Structure 1
Amino acid sequence: MTTLLKQETIRQTRFKIGGMDCASCAAKIDTAVRRLDGVADVSVSVTGASMTVSHGGALPEDKVLQQVARLGYGIVKAEAHVSPISDKAHADHVPNDHEGHDHGHAEPGQGWWRSRRTVLTLACAAALLAAYGIGHLFPVAERWVFLAALLVGLVPIGRRALMAALAGTPFSIEMLMTIAAIGAVMIGATEEAAAVVVLFLIGELLEGVAAG
């Protein structure tokens, strides 16, 4: 009887994830969601752009949405109901990389060229080009304009690094990028730091396009 009750109370809720294009992205989301109360298991599919959360009873969906959104990913609930599953079905469940294949890169289902990541990359690249131009015309202001260009891209990256750290992933690629950029500024390599941040964002964007 106890086993039957346990089987009936294990449920799954599925979400669509946007902007998740690598294994480290999936790991960050997995770690963050597992920390929520009531969550029994998490299955994240990168190519399927989805996450299945196994839980007992009611799932605090708003907290799941907030937790994932804080990391910089788009998330929506994939279905309007939760489906009971048995322990055996849960044990046998294998993430299907082809389930709900929805190529979102900001909000699920949104084209990559309209995503916030694309906008950020273009803005950061434009700021870097502007910094080169202004620095050439006004050499005395060169350091400051490159610092401003750097901050255009580094502030969002740093925010994602902080949110990932608070969610249980302190050594994310965003954190390493943030530390490296700050270190470069401290040794006077502000121009190089700004260029590296742009290249980092371009790399992330291309990775997302390739994954989707």
Structure 2
Amino acid sequence: MTDRVPASVVWAQPGDAAAVADHIARVVSAPGHKRIAFTGGSTPIKVLALLQDRPLDWSSVTIALTDDRCVPDDHTASNFGKIYSALGASGADFERLAEGVDVAPFDLVWLGMGEDGHVASLFPEMTAHVRPGPAVIATTPIPLPPEAPFNRLTLNARALKATREIILVVTGASKKALLESALAGDDRYPVTDFLLGYGPPVTIYWSE
């Protein structure tokens, strides 16, 4: 679990939600206690719905979030609220984001990506509290997205890379084109650091 070796990248085949569900199930079913950082948005809820009938031992898992909006749990924009609604009765432990907290390494970090190449709440332009080491930081995207005009808490890049592996789950032709540009060396996007920089192996799950 280090960010001091060059990242390796593979494209999963297939790359649909069912394949992502299989990957999550493999990690949850591994021996011992596991730590998984979930992305926000609607995709994890779709994937978790595919896992609801599988006999998985979620009590062996600590679930964290890669990032969240600074809103109450019952707000429609709350990533924590969505994940907790899906898995709160599963027996899993939940680790809340709190600004400045040091973050222990993960077994799996699940990233999504925005149309501007942001991952977690690390945006191309933002204000951010800089902290050394794997930690939770406060960020504010510039400009604030009109669909989610909120300040954020996010794992910083060191915390996101402190994991055995990363899965990057994206949909749509425009995001695939952006990933191809990033893999070709376009460093305008935060995602490029995870694909071409130093860090854990990355598996891209892409579907239309």
TM-score, normalised relative to structure 1: 0.26
Compare CA radii of gyration and give the structure with the larger one.
1
Higher helix share: 1
Higher strand share: 2
TM-score, normalised relative to structure 2: 0.26
